[in-house]
């Protein structure tokens, strides 16, 4: 996913960009409101999935930038700012921001909020008359409506959670999913006490699919699905 980071502090932007890049985001950094608005103009590239917008910009207030973005696009906007008072939050949300995160923030929470607003946007988009029925990753076919999985045409029996885990990773091949995010979306609970369960399910999937390299462990972060070479 391409992400537009609007932040005038280069040190903050560099640190956050490094974290986001490790989690599979393609980060474009804008240092001002004008740069941000220019970056959003169509340029034949993949559109941005989310905008992280600081409010204290050198050329114009972030609220004004948010209003201009909202007039031209429905792209999710997360305001990231030190302004913590309730009035500022309400004002930002009323202008069209999808979320509001106060500095200093926990990186894991910020990542979860990015994924959450991206999911809401995807869920609200018109996907056409034929919804996605199956995912294919190399020799693996995942049939979403029937919850069936096959490898090179041979069906593989998975448990409910194994299927949910595989389907989640397969929706965005190559993107790193944090352990906390996987636990939240597959097990609908918090990370505490569930980490070992996730490891067991990943090991079981690798064994049943007979493709140990399909699910890659990103040390200290989480997992991602790596499509086999053609």
Average pLDDT over residues 126-150: 77
| 149-184 per-position pLDDT tens digit | 999 999 999 998 899 999 989 988 888 888 888 887
Number of Cβ within 10 Å of residue 205's Cβ equals 25
The token duo for 38 is 């220019």
Most confident option among 39-53, 81-95, 200-214: 200-214
Kindly report whether the global pTM for this prediction surpasses the value 0.85. no
Residue 50 confidence (pLDDT): 93
| 16-69 per-position pLDDT tens digit | 999 999 888 999 999 999 999 999 876 556 688 899 999 999 999 999 999 888
Distance CA 22, CA 220 (A): 11
Delineate the domains of the chain, giving CATH numbers in brackets: 2-124 (3.40.50.2300), 134-225 (1.10.10.10)
What order do you get walking across the sheet with 154-156 strand by strand? 134-137, 140-143, 148-151, 154-156
SS3 63: helix
Angle, vertex CA 176, rays to CA 171 and CA 177, nearest 5: 75
């Amino acid at each position: 996913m391409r992400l537009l980071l609007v932040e005038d502090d280069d040190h903050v932007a560099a640190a956050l960009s490094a974290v986001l890049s490790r989690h599979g985001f393609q980060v474009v950094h804008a240092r001002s409101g004008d740069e941000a608005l220019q970056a959003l103009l169509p340029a034949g590239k993949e559109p941005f999935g989310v905008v992280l917008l600081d409010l204290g910009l050198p050329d114009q207030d972030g609220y004004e930038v948010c209003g201009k973005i909202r007039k031209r696009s429905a792209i999710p906007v997360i305001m990231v700012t030190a302004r913590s008072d309730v009035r500022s939050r309400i004002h930002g949300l009323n202008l069209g921001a999808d979320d509001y995160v106060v500095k200093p923030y926990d990186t894991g929470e910020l990542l979860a909020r990015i994924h959450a607003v991206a999911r809401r946007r995807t869920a609200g988009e018109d996907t056409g008359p034929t919804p996605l029925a199956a995912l294919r990753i190399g020799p693996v076919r995942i049939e979403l409506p029937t919850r069936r999985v096959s490898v090179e045409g041979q069906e593989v029996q998975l448990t409910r959670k194994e299927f949910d885990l595989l389907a989640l990773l397969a929706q965005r091949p190559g993107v790193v999913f944090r352990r906390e995010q996987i636990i939240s979306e597959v097990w609908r609970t918090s990370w505490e006490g569930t980490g070992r369960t996730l490891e067991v399910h990943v090991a079981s999937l690798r064994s049943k699919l007979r493709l140990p390299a399909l699910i890659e462990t990103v040390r200290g972060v989480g997992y991602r699905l790596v499509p086999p070479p053609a």
